[in-house]
């Protein structure tokens, strides 16, 4: 029978299926971080249980960590306690921790792929919704709650109902200056913040095939922002070339065997999806969000929708959102001044993102009134940026290169955007208060964000390259 990529991986990992209920899904890799794990470890202790397969669990500290002076003790007491508790838990339960000060430390969804811990065909979970990022390698990867973290630690399994399957094809080629971030913001604006709820999404088509692994990760990362459980992309030569020779990837004959297996991971020609969409890549513009969910985005040349164009029963929410953002319906988004620029998060903080930004800003200076934070996704990204001289280019432009962590993506550490200020951000969520109480977030690609840093406003990158 013809199978989709998702079904091939799913079927290999089912331990058993409960009648009229979910399936027991075996988990190959489990990532943990300091925020969603403490209660799970406490649960294990209460039950007197150990971690079943500690070697399949990898931990890092990312959400809470400061992004300057990481060598000093964390100043904020509660954050420090949480990070210390992770250290304690990992040591008590025999889990490898890439904590502060470790050369592998970084945002959990950045380090998994770059270390070769994430490999095609795997099932991957983490107590974090953007676990969907790892789907770029052809994995079933999704976020779970803390109770499920406890289950996965104790039994290396979680209970899951098989989701519905959707395929989104991005056909043809992208315009110059349009990045994978624009593709996904475009898709979410078409489907809405809940349009893919209940689905796992496979991304396909020429424009997806042409993306680098970094670009594919950005797409899969934001699948959750339209409600999907996760997203995935069939592995191909681009994937294998990225994975080869990373720290933890198989070597020698193990590599040959793995590769042979990974070549079977694709959706069969006559497999059927519950839903299928085709989007013309050439129609996608650089995108910016204007509202308080990632579905409220628009092409850079467009205007914010007029109130009259919004369905009656959604107008109250639309108004509330624009009021929070301090924007008017019907106004152009181009020309909107910004106060802060944040280039970071598990969506866009990889070395390729920093290279793109550096290439563009080389020899330019940031606008005087704008503050620019560049937060690399990991120690390895930070190191590469220094090796390649990217740090120097960014500093010359007046940008601040900070140390790795989630940072202003969710403002759990000190990196918060002040109330009422506009921040153009390469992260994934523009929710009210996400970057700090009453902060106003405009989501965009790293290039659009870099351009805003230079011009002080939202502008169309196509006019500058």
Partner 1 sequence: MKQIRSTAVPIRDENIDTDQIIPARFLKATSRDGFGKNLFRDWRYENDNEATPRKDFPLNNPKWKGDILVAGKNFGCGSSREHAAWAIRDHGFEVVVSSFFADIFRNNALNNFLLPVQVSEDFLQHLFDTLDADPATQIDVDLEQQTIRILPTGEQEHFDINPYKKTCMINGYDDIDFLISILPDIEAFEKKKS
Q: Are 330 and 306 within 8 A, CB to CB? A: yes
Q: Work out whether 150 is an interface residue with ligand SF4 (CB under 6 A).
A: no
The contacts of residue 283 (CB under 8 Å, 6+ apart) are none
Taking the least distance from each CB to partner 1, the nearer of 136 and 406 is 406
| Binding of residue 367 to partner 1 (CB under 8 A) | no
Selection from 374, 425, 429, 449 nearest residue 404 by Cα: 374
Residue 34 near residue 128, CB atoms below 8 Å: no
Instruction: Extract the tokens encoding 342.
Output: 């944040």
Q: How many residues does the chain have?
A: 465
Question: Does the CA dihedral 67-68-71-75 come out positive or negative?
Answer: negative
From 45-53, 115-123, 402-410, 416-424, give the range in contact with ligand SF4 by CB under 6 A. Answer: 402-410
Beta-carbon contacts of residue 250 (< 8 Å; ≥ 6 apart): 119, 257, 258
What is the secondary structure of 194-205 as a DSSP string? TTTTTEEEEEES
| Contact call for residue 181 and ligand SF4 (CB under 6 A) | no
148 versus 285: smaller Cβ distance to ligand SF4: 148
226, 406, 452, 461: residue in contact with ligand SF4 (rule CB under 6 A): 406
Choices 299-307, 316-324, 353-361, 452-460 (CB under 8 A): range interacting with partner 1:
316-324
List C-alpha distances in Å: 153 to 24, 37, 39, 142, 148. 14, 10, 12, 15, 8
Choose the stretch contacting partner 1; rule: CB under 8 A; options: 114-122, 262-270, 282-290, 308-316.
308-316
The minimum distance between CB 38 and partner 1, in angstroms, equals 4
Identified binder of ligand SF4 from the candidate list 29, 130, 379, 440, rule CB under 6 A: 130
Query: Tokens 């399949």 appear where?
Result: 56
Q: Measure the CA–CA gap between 319 and 348, rounded to whole angstroms.
A: 30
Task: Name the residue among 422, 427, 414 with its Cα closest to residue 343.
Answer: 427
Nearest distance in Å: CB 430, ligand SF4: 12
Does the footprint of partner 1 cover residue 38 (CB under 8 A)?
Answer: yes
Choose one: 228-236, 252-260, 396-404, 406-414; the region binding ligand SF4 (CB under 6 A).
406-414
Residue 289 is encoded by which pair of tokens?
Answer: 């969000």
Task: Produce one character per residue of 429-446: b if its CB has 16 or more CB atoms within 10 Å, e if not.
Answer: bbebbbbbeebbbbbbbb
For residue 145, state whether it binds partner 1 (rule: CB under 8 A).
yes
Strand, coil or helix: 401: strand
Shortest spacing between CB 127 and partner 1, in angstroms: 6
By the rule CB under 8 A, 210 interacts with partner 1:
no
**Among partner 1, ligand SF4, none, partner that 81 touches (CB below 5 to 8 angstroms by kind):** partner 1
Taking CB under 8 A as the rule, does residue 35 contact partner 1? Answer: yes
User: Residue 35's binding partner, choosing from ligand SF4, partner 1, none, with beta-carbon cut-off 5 to 8 A by kind?
Assistant: partner 1
Q: Which listed residue (107, 115, 179, 213) binds ligand SF4 by CB under 6 A?
A: 107
Pairing of strands 400-401, 371-374: parallel
CB 103 → partner 1: shortest distance, Å? Answer: 26
Tokens of 163: 């989701």
For partner 1, the closer CB: 157 or 393: 157
Judged by CB under 8 A, does residue 317 bind partner 1?
Answer: yes
The answer to the question of residue 159 lying near partner 1 (CB under 8 A) is yes
**What distance in Å separates the CA atoms of residue 140 and residue 136, rounded to the nearest whole number?**
9
Element (H, E) at 372: strand 371-374
Binding to partner 1 by residue 24, rule CB under 8 A?
A: yes
Please name which of 248, 241, 198 lies closest in space to residue 223, comparing C-alpha atoms.
Answer: 198
Instruction: Tell me whether residue 26 is exposed, middle or buried, using C-beta atoms within 10 angstroms of its C-beta: 0 to 12, 13 to 18, 19 or more.
Output: middle
- Residue 434 binds partner 1, judged by CB under 8 A: yes
The reply to whether 43 sits near partner 1 by the rule CB under 8 A is yes
CA 116 to chain centre: 17
By CB under 6 A, name the binding residues for ligand SF4.
62-63, 107, 109, 128, 130, 345-346, 406, 409-410, 427-428
By CB under 8 A, name the binding residues for partner 1.
12, 15-16, 18-22, 24, 26, 35-36, 38-39, 42-43, 47, 49, 52, 63-64, 78-79, 81-82, 85, 127-129, 131, 143-148, 150-151, 154-157, 159, 161, 163, 193-194, 197-198, 224, 227, 229, 293, 313-314, 316-317, 320, 410-412, 429, 431-434, 437
């Amino acid at each position: 029978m013809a199978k989709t990529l998702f079904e091939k991986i799913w079927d290999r990992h089912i331990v058993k299926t409960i009648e009229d209920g979910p399936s027991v899904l075996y988990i190959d890799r489990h990532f943990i971080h300091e925020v969603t794990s403490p209660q799970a470890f406490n649960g294990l202790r209460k039950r007197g249980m150990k971690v079943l397969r500690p070697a399949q669990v990898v931990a890092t500290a990312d959400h809470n960590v400061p992004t300057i002076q990481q060598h000093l003790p964390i100043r904020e007491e509660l954050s420090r306690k949480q990070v210390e508790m992770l250290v304690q838990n990992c040591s008590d339960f025999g889990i490898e921790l890439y904590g502060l000060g470790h050369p592998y430390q970084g945002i959990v969804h950045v380090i998994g792929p770059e270390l070769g811990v994430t490999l095609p065909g795997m099932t991957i979970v983490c107590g974090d919704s953007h676990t969907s990022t790892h789907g770029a390698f052809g994995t079933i990867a999704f976020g779970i709650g803390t109770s499920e973290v406890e289950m996965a630690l104790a039994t290396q399994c979680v209970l899951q109902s098989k989701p519905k399957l959707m395929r989104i094809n991005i056909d043809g080629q992208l315009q110059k200056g349009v990045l994978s971030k624009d593709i996904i913001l475009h898709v979410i604006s078409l489907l809405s913040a809940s349009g893919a709820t209940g689905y796992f999404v496979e991304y396909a088509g020429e424009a997806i095939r042409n993306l680098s692994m970094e670009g594919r990760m950005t797409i899969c990362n934001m699948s959750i922002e339209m409600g999907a459980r996760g997203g995935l992309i069939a592995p191909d030569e681009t994937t294998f070339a990225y994975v080869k020779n990373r720290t933890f990837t198989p070597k020698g004959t193990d590599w040959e065997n793995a590769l042979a297996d990974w070549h079977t991971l694709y959706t069969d020609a006559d497999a059927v999806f519950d839903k299928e969409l085709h989007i013309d890549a050439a129609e996608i513009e650089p995108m910016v969000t204007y509202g308080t969910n990632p579905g409220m985005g628009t092409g850079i040349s467009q205007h914010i929708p007029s109130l009259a164009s919004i369905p009656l029963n959604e107008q109250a929410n639309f108004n509330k959102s624009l009021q929070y953002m301090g924007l008017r319906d019907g106004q152009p988004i181009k020309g909107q001044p910004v106060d802060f620029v944040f280039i970071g998060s598990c969506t866009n903080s990889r070395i390729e993102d920093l290279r793109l930004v550096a290439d563009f800003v080389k020899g330019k200076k940031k606008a005087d009134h704008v503050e620019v934070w560049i937060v690399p996704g990991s120690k390895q990204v930070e190191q590469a940026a220094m090796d390649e001289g990217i740090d120097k280019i960014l500093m010359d432009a007046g940008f601040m290169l900070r140390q790795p962590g989630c940072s202003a993506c969710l403002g759990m550490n000190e990196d918060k955007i002040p109330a009422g200020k506009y921040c153009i951000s390469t992260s994934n969520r523009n929710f009210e208060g996400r970057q700090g109480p009453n902060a106003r977030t405009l989501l965009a690609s790293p290039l659009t964000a870099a351009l805003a840093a230079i011009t002080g406003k939202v502008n169309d990158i196509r006019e500058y390259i």
